[in-house]
């Protein structure tokens, strides 16, 4: 069961919810990577719909020599994570095969419970975040099979990734947390440098496939139009 009380805001009416099971590979959308998040489809008091992608994340903060996490640093990291991921990956009106004849919109909202202690029995993800000096760069990565990520405080900085594209580590790595593969080393999108799973930050419709599939199924089953 999805703990809807953790996720829903006042007045939101739950229409459907699906939980990714706690065992790896149970809800894999492709062969290699297992996504780990809950999905909730709700109607807000104004009548519009919201697709919520929800992750419970445990964050471990790791100090480096002469680099220590303060409470303010941790708050800043978590605020940035919520805001910047949602601003880039979220949408005020996502496209589906279904055009709602009611002219209502479907927005896409990413919501997180970020825990510094193991409060919940199950977290979708465990992130280890290292404190680096300003300007220092270390490769961040997600290990989907273990549902872990290794990040740092500089992952919100833009890094030049090709002649004409810049990318923030957190924005790209979050795509892996949604179950998406890299595109810069293989596959048909290798020349699409602007793509978020390549060297840029542009979200393509293909990157939405994992949750659009469930959204369209829900719209069909609940006869929403």
Residues that bind Zn ion (CB under 5 A): 182
State which residue, 19 or 182, has the beta carbon closest to Zn ion.
182
Minimum Å distance from CB 174 to Zn ion? Answer: 10
State which residue, 8 or 175, has the beta carbon closest to Zn ion.
175
State which residue, 17 or 130, has the beta carbon closest to Zn ion.
130
- Please tell me whether residue 33 adopts helix, strand or coil conformation: coil
- State the Cα–Cα distance between residues 136 and 30, nearest whole angstrom: 34
Minimum Å distance from CB 173 to Zn ion? Answer: 7
Minimum Å distance from CB 81 to Zn ion? Answer: 17
* Count of all residues that appear for the chain in the document: 225
Closest alpha carbon to 77 in 118, 138, 129: 129
Residue entry with tokens 């994570």: 81
CB atoms within 10 A of CB 31: 8
State which residue, 182 or 194, has the beta carbon closest to Zn ion.
182
Minimum Å distance from CB 73 to Zn ion? Answer: 25
Token pair of 18, please? 């699906």
Q: For 86, list phi and psi in degrees, rounded to 5.
A: -65, -40
Closest CB to Zn ion: residue number? 182
């Amino acid at each position: 069961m999805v703990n809807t009380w953790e996720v829903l805001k006042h007045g939101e009416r739950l229409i459907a919810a699906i939980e990714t099971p706690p065992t790896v590979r149970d809800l894999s959308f492709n062969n290699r990577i297992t996504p780990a998040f809950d999905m909730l489809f709700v109607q807000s008091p104004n009548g519009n719909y919201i697709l919520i992608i929800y992750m419970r994340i445990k964050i471990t903060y790791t100090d480096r020599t002469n680099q220590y996490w303060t409470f303010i640093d941790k708050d800043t990291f978590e605020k940035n994570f919520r805001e910047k991921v949602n601003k880039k990956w979220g949408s005020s009106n996502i496209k589906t095969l279904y055009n709602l004849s009611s002219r209502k919109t479907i927005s896409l909202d990413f919501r997180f419970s970020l825990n510094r202690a193991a409060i919940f029995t199950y977290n979708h993800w465990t992130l280890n975040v290292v404190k680096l000096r300003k300007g220092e760069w270390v490769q961040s990565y997600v290990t989907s099979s273990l549902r872990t990520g290794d990040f740092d405080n500089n992952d919100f900085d833009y890094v030049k990734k090709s002649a004409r594209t810049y990318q923030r580590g957190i924005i790209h790595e979050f795509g892996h947390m949604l179950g998406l593969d890299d595109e810069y080393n293989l596959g048909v999108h290798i020349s699409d440098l602007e793509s978020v799973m390549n060297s840029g930050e542009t979200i393509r419709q293909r990157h939405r496939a994992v949750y659009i599939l469930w959204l369209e199924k829900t719209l069909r089953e609940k006869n929403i139009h």
